[in-house]
């Protein structure tokens, strides 16, 4: 039963799930890291990314490139929507208690969920695998779909891209400064408002990107918004809210615990993840790689 | 409805009302519509079943009203969203009875909602007809009361039918199951396994996977199951869950590993699922569905029903879910007509052992357990060149009477 090839297959599937999750959760973590807003509606942006990807592939028809156009278009649309929401609505809540922000983003979940239902109905939708990546490799007796491999490579690239952006560019420096002390940065003459909008758009972009990328392997249904947000919360709590590499680590742990958990505790793999989260919260309340939040 | 039909309908209403009115003292009550409270999921993931099922009920009501309604009164549906939540379903049901003064209850959808609303019907002595809920619990001995009736199939029928089919497949020795880990998935899988062991003691159940309901990543479950090398697999993953599962499984060559000897219950053969998946559907597997638009062996009434439904929902070929609401409403209406009254005690008696000519043939509600002998369509899913997606070829309706308790 526990042959090396089987363990490798489990590891591979855990890693694929982890990278999907990382791409989405990184957006949640980045937004929290800078804006200090825990965005409940992040899952809704993910859902909209998936629906938009489906919509664009419908418009473009069966062309083999349609998926590759749909993904950036979907992510960009979601980013723009995020920017509009931040600028027009969320902005007014920064000075308020966290409870108001939570209530507001929760209201967004309901509004966007209903909007998706009105626009796309309640039927499950599906996007075919892009022809370029429809096949699979046979490695050491296991089947690795090309698309899984693509996601496993893309995840770390997204992480690296975010890290370079934050640590090697001027904007990145400003973002880190804003996370540290927004009043001081503002007093020094930086346009913190614009920075926040950009950050929220970047986070939304990642959610939309994640949503668009899962469409070839998951069905698009109402309710996918709530499912993903719970998983994202677990990942960022384990890894450390606001920490990019923490989120990366949290996603990998989450994926592997789920993949191997079913072998040890069939039917209780999710339970194992929650136990792990509770354990991390007790031992390191800020998460594995998180820094304690400055009050 | 054209003017001639409308005139005839009006005459029928007037005639019946006159007869009934002379007999009863309350003439006004007889011309008021019969109100049927309908709690059903219209938002969230369950809506993809709730909405089309409700359309079927609505179509029947429209057709019946065009013919003058029942007992000379129009039927009016009072639809409320349960949001897929049992507590909300109970609240809505109470509200429909107390404030809307509905004469009957109809509907609910999940295996949590139906059994939760049933005691409300009992408490208020109101007939409650259930067109979609499958859990055996609903009409189990300890929960049965005079007012609850199920017009759809149940988990025992569905699981046993699947076992009857698989028992006939050649060269099957090692069987696996994969089902969502909640009431419906567990019940239907248990019914399947128990019945299969009875039919084929030589078959061994080698693996059982229980992903949570709404699982997004089935890869670990698929790998684990393939490692046990089953010859055939039974599944009750439904709707979008099946779509996600099958897409991931196909990429891992899961279906190929046991020659597509896969039996998908939980309506994995529903047209919505096949249409959404297109070429990604695992062709060659067996699956089931509540209705089959291409049922060549069916009665002429079925073909006519499909044609009317396509016009009503503007979908061609139409959904397989509306038949649940249609038949349920047809049976309730037949009960009211047979009782000659809207009094729930009389209608309850009338519904016992009632036989109704439905679009899929004669259906009977058994008096002993208030359960209709309703089965489903099963068949091999083959890509249809005309539609470009998998279609049950041919759909087979399996009468459940020989293996119902």
DSSP string for residues in B84-126: T-HHHHHHHHHHHHHTS--SEEE---STTHHHHHHHHHHHHT-
Nearest-by-Cβ selection for B45 from A3, A9, A223: A223
SS (H, E, C) B208-262: EECCCCCCCCCHHHHHHHHHCCCCEEEECCCHHHHHHHHHHHHHCCHHHHCCCCE
Residue B213: predicted pLDDT: 84
H or E stretch at B79:
strand B75-81
Residues B146 and B160 in one domain: no
- Mean pLDDT value across residues B152-168: 96
d(CA B134, CA B157): 9
| Both structure tokens of B323 | 């038949």
B276 vs A contacts (CB less than 8 Å): 123-126, 219
Please give the C-alpha separations between residue B357 and each of A11, B299, B319, B399, in angstroms, as whole numbers.
Answer: 55, 10, 21, 15
Query: Could you tell me the residue range of the domain that residue B40 belongs to?
Result: 32-152+300-364
| pLDDT grade for B391, boundaries at 50, 70 and 90 | very high
| Residue B369 falls inside a structural domain | no
Residues B276 and B331 in one domain: no
Please tell me if residue B45 touches chain A, with a CB cutoff of 8 Å: yes
Residue A122: predicted pLDDT: 80
| pLDDT grade for B14, boundaries at 50, 70 and 90 | very low
Hey, are the CB atoms on B219 and A17 less than 8 Å from each other? yes
Name the 3-class secondary structure at B334.
helix
Hey, are the CB atoms on A17 and B45 less than 8 Å from each other? no
Of the ranges A99-103, A126-130, B263-267, the best mean pLDDT one: B263-267
Hey, are the CB atoms on B43 and A222 less than 8 Å from each other? yes
Of B47, B109, B33, give the one whose Cα is nearest residue B77. Answer: B33
Do the Cβ atoms of B80 and B107 come closer than 8 Å? Answer: no
Please give the C-alpha separations between residue A13 and each of A104, A252, B223, B328, in angstroms, as whole numbers.
Answer: 36, 11, 9, 44
Name the 3-class secondary structure at B278.
helix
| pLDDT grade for B43, boundaries at 50, 70 and 90 | confident
Q: What single DSSP character describes residue A218?
A: S
Nearest-Cα residue of chain A relative to residue B214:
A227
The count of C-alpha atoms lying within 13 angstroms of the C-alpha of B64, restricted to the half-sphere facing its C-beta, is 27
CATH code of the domain covering residue B58: 3.40.50.2300
Which of B216, B282, B319 to mutate against chain A (most A CBs within 10 Å)?
B216
- Mean pLDDT value across residues A68-84: 97
Distance from CA of B276 to the nearest CA of A (A): 5
Which of A51, A57, A122 to mutate against chain B (most B CBs within 10 Å)?
A122
| Both structure tokens of B239 | 């709707």
The answer to whether residue A133 scores a pLDDT higher than 70 is yes
Q: Could you count the other beta carbons within 10 Å of the beta carbon of residue A73?
A: 19
Of B315, B281, B302, B305, give the one whose Cα is nearest residue B392. Answer: B281
The answer to whether residue A55 scores a pLDDT higher than 80 is yes
Residues B174 and B313 in one domain: no
Residue A1: predicted pLDDT: 62
Alpha-carbon B224 to chain mean position: 32
| Residue B348 falls inside a structural domain | yes
Please tell me if residue B206 touches chain A, with a CB cutoff of 8 Å: no
Residues B261 and B383 in one domain: yes
| Residue B17 falls inside a structural domain | no
Residues with Cβ within 8 Å of A81's Cβ and at least 6 positions away in sequence, in order, are: A45, A48, A204
| Both structure tokens of B93 | 């049901």
| pLDDT grade for A22, boundaries at 50, 70 and 90 | very high
| Both structure tokens of A24 | 């989405």
B221 vs A contacts (CB less than 8 Å): 262
Residues B179 and B126 in one domain: no
| pLDDT grade for A65, boundaries at 50, 70 and 90 | confident
d(CA A246, CA B210): 30
The answer to whether residue B18 scores a pLDDT higher than 70 is no
Residues B48 and B167 in one domain: no
Of B214, B381, B361, give the one whose Cα is nearest residue B298. Answer: B361
Alpha-carbon B306 to chain mean position: 16
Residues B256 and B353 in one domain: no
| Residue B267 falls inside a structural domain | yes
Q: pLDDT by residue (tens digit) across A188-211?
A: 888 888 999 999 999 999 999 999
Residue found under tokens 């002429």: B300
| Residue B252 falls inside a structural domain | yes
Hey, are the CB atoms on B220 and A129 less than 8 Å from each other? no
Residues B161 and B148 in one domain: no
- pTM for the whole thing? 0.86
Q: What single DSSP character describes residue B73?
A: B
| pLDDT grade for B5, boundaries at 50, 70 and 90 | low
Residues with Cβ within 8 Å of A185's Cβ and at least 6 positions away in sequence, in order, are: A174, A177, A178, A192
Nearest-by-Cβ selection for B251 from A136, A224, A263: A136
Distance from CA of B156 to the nearest CA of A (A): 23
Q: pLDDT by residue (tens digit) across B336-345?
A: 999 999 999 9
Q: Could you count the other beta carbons within 10 Å of the beta carbon of residue B301?
A: 13
Q: Which of A96-100, B95-99, B188-192, B390-394 has the lowest mean pLDDT?
A: A96-100
Hey, are the CB atoms on B216 and A129 less than 8 Å from each other? no
The per-residue pLDDT of chain B, averaged, comes to 91
Residue A42: predicted pLDDT: 97
Residue A267: predicted pLDDT: 67
Residues B180 and B135 in one domain: no
Tell me the CA end-to-end span of chain B in Å, nearest whole number.
Answer: 44
Instruction: Tell me what percent of the residues of chain B surpass a pLDDT of 70.
Output: 92
The per-residue pLDDT of chain A, averaged, comes to 90
- In sign, the C-alpha dihedral spanning A92, A30, A11, B259 is positive
Distance from CA of A237 to the nearest CA of B (A): 20
| Residue B130 falls inside a structural domain | yes
Do the Cβ atoms of A258 and B217 come closer than 8 Å? Answer: yes
Nearest-by-Cβ selection for B45 from A129, A222, A259: A222
| Residue B295 falls inside a structural domain | no
Residue-by-residue DSSP string for A231-259: HHHHHHHHH-TT-HHHHHHHHHHHHHHHH
d(CA A228, CA A214): 11
Give how many domains chain B has, as a whole number.
2
Residues B210 and B358 in one domain: no
Nearest-Cα residue of chain B relative to residue A231:
B216
Hey, are the CB atoms on A223 and B279 less than 8 Å from each other? no
B318 vs A contacts (CB less than 8 Å): none
Nearest-Cα residue of chain B relative to residue A227:
B214
Residue-by-residue DSSP string for A129-194: PPGGG--EEEETTEEEEHHHHHHHHHHHHHHHHHHHHHHHSHHHHHHHHHHH-HHHHHHTT--HHH
Residue A264: predicted pLDDT: 80
Nearest-by-Cβ selection for A259 from B220, B253, B278: B220
Hey, are the CB atoms on B239 and A231 less than 8 Å from each other? no
Between residues 274 and 333 of chain B, which touch chain A (CB distance below 8 Å)?
A: 276-280
Instruction: Tell me what percent of the residues of chain B surpass a pLDDT of 90.
Output: 82
Backbone angles phi, psi at B202, to 5 degrees: -80, -15
Residues B219 and B285 in one domain: yes
The answer to whether residue B231 scores a pLDDT higher than 70 is yes
d(CA B124, CA B345): 11
Do the Cβ atoms of B156 and B405 come closer than 8 Å? Answer: yes
Query: How many degrees, rounded to 5, is the angle at CA A253 between CA A248 and CA A254?
Result: 95
Which of B83, B182, B224, B271 to mutate against chain A (most A CBs within 10 Å)?
B224
Count of CB contacts below 8 A, A vs B?
A: 124
Residues with Cβ within 8 Å of B397's Cβ and at least 6 positions away in sequence, in order, are: B295, B297, B298, B360, B361, B375, B376, B377
| Residue B342 falls inside a structural domain | yes
Residue B30: predicted pLDDT: 59
d(CA A261, CA B215): 14
| Both structure tokens of B387 | 């539609």
Residues B230 and B83 in one domain: no
Residue B29: predicted pLDDT: 53
The answer to whether residue B16 scores a pLDDT higher than 70 is no
d(CA B253, CA B231): 14
Q: Could you count the other beta carbons within 10 Å of the beta carbon of residue A150?
A: 17
Q: Exposed e or buried b for every residue in B86-109, given b needs 16+ CB within 10 A?
A: bebbbebbbebbeeeebbbbbbbb
H or E stretch at B275:
helix B271-277
| Both structure tokens of B120 | 């409300």
Hey, are the CB atoms on A13 and B223 less than 8 Å from each other? yes
Hey, are the CB atoms on A126 and B252 less than 8 Å from each other? no
């Amino acid at each position: 039963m526990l042959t090396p090839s089987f363990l490798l297959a489990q590891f591979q599937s855990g890693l694929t799930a982890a990278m999907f999750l990382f791409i989405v959760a990184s957006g949640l973590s980045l937004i929290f890291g800078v804006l200090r807003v825990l965005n409940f509606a992040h899952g809704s942006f993910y859902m909209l990314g998936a629906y938009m990807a489906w919509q664009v592939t419908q418009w473009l028809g069966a062309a083999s490139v349609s998926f590759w156009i749909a993904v950036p278009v979907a992510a960009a649309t979601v980013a723009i929507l995020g920017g509009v929401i931040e600028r027009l609505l969320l902005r007014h809540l920064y000075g308020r208690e966290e409870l108001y922000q939570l209530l507001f983003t929760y209201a967004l979940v309901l509004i966007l969920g209903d909007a998706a239902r009105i626009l796309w109905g309640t039927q499950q939708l599906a996007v075919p695998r892009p022809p370029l990546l429809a096949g699979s490799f046979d490695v050491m007796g296991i089947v690795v779909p090309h698309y899984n491999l693509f996601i496993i490579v893309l995840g770390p690239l997204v992480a690296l891209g975010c890290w370079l952006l934050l640590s090697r560019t001027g904007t990145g420096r400003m973002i880190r400064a804003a996370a540290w002390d927004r009043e001081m940065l503002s007093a020094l003459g930086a346009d913190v408002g614009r920075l926040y909008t950009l950050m929220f758009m970047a986070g939304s972009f990642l959610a939309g990107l994640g949503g668009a990328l899962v469409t070839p392997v998951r069905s698009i249904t109402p309710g996918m918004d709530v499912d993903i947000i719970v998983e994202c919360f677990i990942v960022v709590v384990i890894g450390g809210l606001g920490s990019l590499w923490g989120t990366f680590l949290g996603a990998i742990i989450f994926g592997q615990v789920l993949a191997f958990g079913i072998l040890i505790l069939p039917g209780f793999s999710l339970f194992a993840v929650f136990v792990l989260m509770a354990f991390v919260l007790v031992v390191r309340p800020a998460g594995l790689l998180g820094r304690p939040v400055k009050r | 409805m054209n003017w001639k039909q409308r005139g005839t309908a009006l005459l029928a209403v007037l005639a019946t009302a006159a007869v009934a009115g002379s007999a009863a003292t309350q003439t006004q009550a007889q011309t008021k519509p019969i109100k049927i409270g309908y709690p059903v999921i219209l938002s969230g993931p369950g809506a993809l079943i709730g909405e089309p099922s409700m359309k079927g009920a609505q179509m029947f009501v429209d057709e019946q009203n065009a013919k003058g309604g029942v007992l000379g009164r129009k039927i009016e549906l009072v639809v409320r969203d349960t949001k897929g939540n049992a507590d909300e379903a109970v609240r809505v049901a109470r509200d429909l009875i107390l404030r809307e003064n509905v004469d009957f209850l109809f509907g609910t959808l999940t295996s949590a909602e139906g059994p939760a609303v049933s005691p409300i019907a009992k408490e208020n002595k109101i007939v409650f007809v259930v067109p979609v809920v499958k859990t055996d619990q609903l009409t189990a001995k300890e929960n049965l009361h005079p007012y609850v009736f199920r017009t759809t199939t149940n988990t025992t029928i569905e699981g046993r039918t699947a076992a009857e089919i698989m028992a006939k497949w050649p060269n099957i020795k090692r069987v696996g199951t994969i089902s969502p880990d909640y009431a419906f998935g567990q019940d239907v899988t248990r019914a399947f396994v128990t019945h299969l062991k009875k039919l084929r003691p030589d078959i061994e159940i080698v693996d059982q996977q229980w992903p949570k309901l709404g699982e997004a990543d089935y890869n670990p479950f698929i790998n684990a199951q393939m490692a046990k090398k089953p010859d055939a697999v039974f599944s009750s993953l439904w709707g979008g869950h099946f779509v996600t599962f099958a897409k991931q499984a196909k990429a891992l060559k899961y279906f190929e590993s046991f020659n597509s000897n896969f039996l998908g219950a939980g309506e994995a053969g529903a047209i919505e699922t096949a249409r959404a998946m297109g070429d990604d559907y695992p062709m060659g597997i067996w699956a089931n569905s509540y209705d089959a638009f291409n049922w060549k062996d069916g009665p002429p009434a079925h073909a006519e029903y499909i044609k009317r439904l396509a016009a009503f929902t503007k979908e061609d070929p139409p959904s397989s879910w509306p038949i649940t609401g249609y038949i349920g409403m047809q049976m309730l209406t037949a009960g009211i007509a047979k009782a000659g009254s809207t009094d729930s005690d009389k209608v309850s008696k009338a519904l016992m052992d009632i036989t109704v000519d439905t679009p899929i043939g004669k259906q009977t509600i058994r008096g002993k357990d208030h359960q209709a002998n309703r089965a489903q369509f099963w068949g091999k899913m083959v890509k249809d060149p005309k539609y470009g997606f998998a279609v049950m070829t041919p759909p087979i309706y399996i009468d459940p009477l020989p293996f119902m308790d």
